[in-house]
Structure formats: C-alpha cells, structure tokens
Amino acid sequence: MTSSLLRRLGALGLLAASMPAAATTQVTIEGARSYMDSHGTNAAFVEAVFPEHALGQRFSWAPDITAGWIDGRDIAKYRDDKYGTRSSVALLAAGARFSYGDEHDWYRPFFFSFQVAGTNHTTMALSSHYQFVSTLGWQASHFMAAIRHISNGSLSGPNRGETMGLVGVTFAF
C-alpha cells in the first residue's frame, strides 16, 4: 500500500471513530442511464451518507461521498476530437446532502446534494479532471431515486455534462 492510501484510510477511520455510537451511515448502490446530449450510456455509483447535523431549526446536512463509473460511448462525430467519448470515466466525489423538515413531515425524504469530484479521464461530456455533482432525489429507508447532473460549470472545455436518472438500494450501518 502506498503512504497516500494509508493516510486516506487513517483519515476515514478517524472520521468513523468520531461518529456517535447510535449514528447510522447509509450506503446506496446506484444504477443509472446517463446522457450527454441525447447519447446514453450506463453508469454505476456507490454513495455513503453519514449521520445528519442540524443546520438551523428545520434544515439538516450530512457528509456525502460517492465513487462512480460512467461508461464510454462511441459517437462518430467526436472520434477525432481532443475530448472524445470512448473513454469510461471513474470519479470520486465529496460534499454534503441537505434535507428540510422534521422526521415525520411528508417532504422529509426529499434531498439535494452538492459535491466536488475528481475524475480519471476527460471526455466531451466531462472535459476536466474536476467536476461539480448536483443531485435532487428522494430517499426511503431502503430505496432511492434521483436526478443527477455532473459538469465542470463551464470552467474548462466543451462542458456538455452528464445528466442521469438514478435508482438505488440502500443499506444502513
């Protein structure tokens, strides 16, 4: 193992140790059909949402990390472009998930999350190694559905972005 990986694992262990004993972490395995313009491909993610923290009277936030993969696609008109479409992209993202309302409010399962991500490849859709991930969704105890958009906010390259509908199965730890 490299020292960088050991440092990351140590930091994750300290974070886990600092959580209250009764806290619950949710891990969701997500599948999606992702689109750049009208060209679709498959995507998969594993997302961990850690215990919530109050943010005022009715808002809450929770740390949120995601590892994901978006398959490449072969689009003829982009084959010779600087930013092609054939490469699959892996990403790692971290940010926060926000919710509103009390535990028993009907709208409490709805959430918005915002993350900053790093990628291993650039493509026509994700044209830089840094991206912003925005997700609007609904979370039940063991099921999740959401719409997610990933792009670099027009900071670099063509910035077509990836937009997807997600469904997932959630486990609590």
DSSP 1-68: --HHHHHHHHHHHHHHHTS-TT---EEEEEEEEEEETTEEEEEEEEEEEPPPEEETTTEEEEEEEEEE
- Examine residue 114 and state whether it is found in any structural domain, yes or no: yes
Write out pLDDT tens, residues 35-76: 999 999 999 999 999 999 999 999 999 999 999 999 999 988
Alpha-carbon separation of residue 27 from 18, 34, 139 (angstroms) = 18, 21, 12
The mean pLDDT value for 108-113 works out to 97
Greater confidence (53 vs 17) lies with 53
- Examine residue 37 and state whether it is found in any structural domain, yes or no: yes
Find the CATH number of the domain harbouring 145.
Answer: 2.40.160.20
Q: Residue 77 gets which letter from DSSP?
A: G
Is it the case that residue 79 has pLDDT exceeding 90? no
When pLDDT is cut at 50, 70 and 90, the band that residue 2 belongs to is low
When pLDDT is cut at 50, 70 and 90, the band that residue 11 belongs to is low
- Examine residue 33 and state whether it is found in any structural domain, yes or no: yes
Query: Which residues span the domain enclosing 44?
Result: 25-172
When pLDDT is cut at 50, 70 and 90, the band that residue 165 belongs to is very high
- Examine residue 16 and state whether it is found in any structural domain, yes or no: no
Number of domains in the chain: 1
- Examine residue 6 and state whether it is found in any structural domain, yes or no: no
- Examine residue 59 and state whether it is found in any structural domain, yes or no: yes
d(CA 59, CA 14): 26
Q: How many other C-beta atoms can be found within 10 angstroms of the C-beta atom of residue 164?
A: 23
- Examine residue 128 and state whether it is found in any structural domain, yes or no: yes
For the record, the structure tokens of 50 come out as 């850690």
The mean pLDDT value for 28-39 works out to 96
- Examine residue 129 and state whether it is found in any structural domain, yes or no: yes
Work out the mean pLDDT of the chain and round it to a whole number. Answer: 89
Write out pLDDT tens, residues 133-142: 999 999 999 9
